[in-house]
Amino acid sequence: MDALQPPFEGSPRTNSSLDSLSVQQQNKTFFSCLDLLDEILDLREDLEHFLREGYFELALEQRRGFQRGLLPSVLSAAVETSVESTTIRGCPTRPTVHKESCPSKSQHASPFFQSRHIQRAASLFTKALRVSWEIEGTLQKALVEATKFSELSSACNQFKN
Q: What pLDDT digit, counting tens, does each position of 74-121 carry?
A: 666 655 555 554 444 444 444 444 444 454 544 444 444 445 555 666
Q: How many other CB atoms are there within 10 angstroms of residue 100's CB atom?
A: 5
**Mean of pLDDT values over 112-138:** 64
Amino acid at 87: T
Look at residue 97 in the predicted model and tell me its pLDDT: 43
pLDDT digits (tens, 9 = 90+) for 9-61: 444 444 444 455 565 666 666 666 667 767 777 777 777 777 777 776 777 77
Maximum Cα–Cα distance for the chain, whole Å?
84
